[in-house]
Structure 1
Amino acid sequence: MIVEVVDFKIAPEQHEAFGPVLKNAVQTVLSQAAGYAGHSVLACIETPGRYVLTVHWETLEDHTVGFRQSPAFTAWRALIGPFFAQPPHVEHFMVVDSRAPN
Structure 2
Amino acid sequence: MILEHALLKVKPGRFAAFETAMAEAAPLIAASPGFLGLEVRPSVENPGTYLLLVRWENLIDHDPGFRRSDRYQRWKELLHDFYEPFPDVLHFADPLPL
TM-score if structure 1 supplies the norm length? 0.87
SS at match of 1:63: helix
Alignment correspondent of 1:7: 7
Aligned counterparts, 1:46-61, within 5 A? 46-61=45-60
Report the Cα offset of residue 20 of structure 1.
Answer: 2.4
Report the Cα offset of residue 94 of structure 1.
Answer: 1.1
In structure 2, list runs of 5 or more residues that go unmatched: none
Alignment correspondent of 2:42: 43
In structure 1, list runs of 5 or more residues that go unmatched: 98-102
8 Å CA contact retained: 1:23, 1:41: no
TM-score if structure 2 supplies the norm length? 0.90
Aligned residues: 96
CA distance in 2, matches of 1:24, 1:52: 17
Q: What CA RMSD, in Å, does the superposition of the two structures yield over aligned residues?
A: 1.2
Report the Cα offset of residue 15 of structure 1.
Answer: 1.4
Q: Which structure has greater strand proportion? A: 1
The ranges of structure 1 where at least 4 consecutive aligned residues each deviate by more than 6 angstroms after the TM superposition are none
Residue-by-residue CA offset, 1:67-90 (whole Å, 9 max, x unaligned): 111111111010111211221120
SS at match of 1:88: coil
Tell me the percent identity. 34
